[in-house]
Amino acid sequence: MAQWTEQRPSEEFDRILHPDGHLVGELPDIDAETILRLYRTMLESRIFDEKTLAMQRRGEVSIVARSTSEEAVPAGSSAALEEGDWCFPTYRQTPASLYWNARKDRAVAALMGAEPEVIDEHLPVEEEPPVNFTPVYVPLAVNVTNAVGSAMADEFRGDDHVSMSYIGDGSTSQGDFHEALNFAGVFDAPAVTICQNNQWAISVPSHRQTAAETFAQKAEAHGVPYERVDGNDVLAVYEASTKAVERARRGDGPTFIEAVTYRMIEHNTADEESVYRTTDEREYWEDKDPIDRLETYLLSEGLLGDDDPEKIREDLREEVQEAVDRAREVPVSDPETMFEHHLHESTWKHDHQREELRAEQRGENPFTDFTGEGLE
Ligand SMILES: Cc1ncc(C[n+]2csc(CCOP(=O)(O)OP(=O)(O)O)c2C)c(N)n1
Ligand SMILES: [Mg+2]
C-alpha cells in the first residue's frame, strides 16, 4: 500500500479560513445571510447523510453515497449560481441541491426506490428551485460533457446562464472530461467545472490517478483558466466559484476549479475504506473539517447571534425526520419497473434477469431454482 505521505496534497492553494477558524485571507464579497445559509446547508447535508445511512443499515435504502466531510465544495460553489443557471451534480453533491432548497422528502423517497412518477404523485413539487438541477449522474464525467452542451445551448439562445458541473479526482481520467474541457476552451462555453478532489476514487489514491502535480493544471492543456482552492474552506470555494461564474456570464468563457478536500468516510455503503487506508492519513485530515471551521469563525465573530449550534442541529434533525416520515408514506414501486427505459428492445439477458427477480419474489433462490429454461 502507498505511504500516506504520498497521499498528502500540496497546500499551494487559495485559503481564506484557516482550519482553526480564523481568517487568513480577505473576506470575499459575501453578506452574513449567505454565510449563514452556507453553514446551515452544510449541517443539513451532514444530518441528511447520517439519517440516510441509518436507513440503509436498516434495509430501507439500498445504497448511499455521502457528501460528509466534503460539504464545503458543493455548498460554496453552487452558492455562486443564480436564477436560471444549470447544475449537473454527481452522487457526491447533496449540499448543492440543499442550498437551493431541494425537497428532502423527495430525495429520500428516491433513495428508497420510488419511481419519479410515483414521487410526483405523492409528493408533488409546488415550487421549482430557481437553479435548474439535472438528476444525479452516476456514469462518471458524462455530466461535464452535458454541462458544456447546456452552456453552448444557452449561448446560442442568447441567454446569459451558466452551467456548472462536478467531477471527482478519479473521473478526470475519463476521456469525456477532456473532450468537454477541450470543447469548452475552444468555444468559450459559459461552463464552470468543479473538481471535488477528495483524494480517492473508491480504493485508488489520487496520486495513482495522475502524474501531474495538481488536478487543476489538467485544464492548462485545454486553454481553460484554472484555480486551486482549499476545498474544506467554504469561503475560498465560494470566492473562486463566484469569479468563475461571473467570467462565464460576461462571455469570457470557462473555468476549471480544483477544490482540495478529503473523504473521511466510505466511498459508499458498498465499500469498506479501512481495507485500503491508514489511520495516519485520517488523523492528518481530522482537524480540517469544513463545518467545524466555519462554526468556529461564526461563533468568534458573533455571527450566530443568539442561535446555539446545538439548537440549530436539533431543528435540522427534526426537519430531516419529518422529510423521512413523508417519504415513508410513498408507496413502494414495483421492482420490475427497473427493467423499463433501459433498452429499445429486450434482450435474452434482460429477460433472464427479470425472471430471476420474479423467482426471488416468489421466495425461490434465483441462483439454484431458476435456470433460464424456457426463455427464447
Ligand atoms: C464511466 C464509469 N466508470 C466507472 C464507474 C464506477 N465508479 C463509480 S464511482 C467511481 C470512483 C469515482 O471516483 P472520483 O471521480 O474520485 O469521485 P468520488 O467518488 O471520489 O467523489 C467509479 C470508478 C462509473 N460509475 N462510471
Ligand atoms: Mg474522488
Instruction: For the chain, list the strands marked E by DSSP.
Output: 86-88, 132-133, 163-168, 191-197, 200-201, 204-205, 226-230, 255-260
Same domain, 93 and 132: yes
74: containing domain: 4-328
Residue nearest to atom 17 of ligand 1 (CA): 168
Residue 33 in contact with residue 195, Cβ under 8 Å?
A: no
Please give the full DSSP string across 143-197, using - where no structure is assigned: HHHHHHHHHHHHHHHT----EEEEEETGGGGSHHHHHHHHHHHHHT--EEEEEEE
Same domain, 191 and 78: yes
Closest ligand 1 atom to 209 CA: 16
Same domain, 323 and 374: no
Number of domains in the chain: 2
Residue nearest to atom 12 of ligand 1 (CA): 201
Q: Please, which pLDDT band fits residue 376 given cuts at 50, 70 and 90?
A: low
Q: Who lines ligand 1 at CB under 6 A?
A: 92, 138-140, 168-171, 196, 198, 200-202, 263, 267
Nearest ligand to the C-alpha atom of residue 270:
1
Rounded to whole angstroms, what are the CA distances from 291 to 10, 23, 43, 154, 360?
22, 15, 7, 35, 44
Same domain, 322 and 358: no
Same domain, 362 and 250: no
Nearest ligand to the C-alpha atom of residue 142:
1
What tens digit of pLDDT does each residue of 206-255 get?
Answer: 999 999 999 999 999 999 999 999 999 999 999 999 999 999 999 999 99
Residue 208 in contact with residue 267, Cβ under 8 Å?
A: no
What tens digit of pLDDT does each residue of 156-210 get?
Answer: 999 999 999 999 999 999 999 999 999 999 999 999 999 999 999 999 999 999 9
Same domain, 261 and 356: no
Q: How far is the CA of 340 from the centre of ligand 2 (A)?
A: 31
What is the C-alpha separation between 82 and 138, in angstroms, rounded?
25
CATH code of residue 233 = 3.40.50.970
What tens digit of pLDDT does each residue of 17-53 get?
Answer: 999 999 999 999 999 999 999 999 999 999 999 999 9
Residue 259 in contact with residue 229, Cβ under 8 Å?
A: yes
Burial class of residue 251, CB neighbours in 10 A (0-12, 13-18, 19+): exposed
Same domain, 109 and 92: yes
Same domain, 250 and 372: no
Q: What is the dihedral of CA 184, 189, 190, 192, to 10 degrees?
A: -10
0.85 surpassed by pTM: yes
Same domain, 161 and 198: yes
Give the pairing type, strands 200-201 and 86-88: unpaired
Q: Which three three-digit cell numbers place residue 330?
A: 410513498
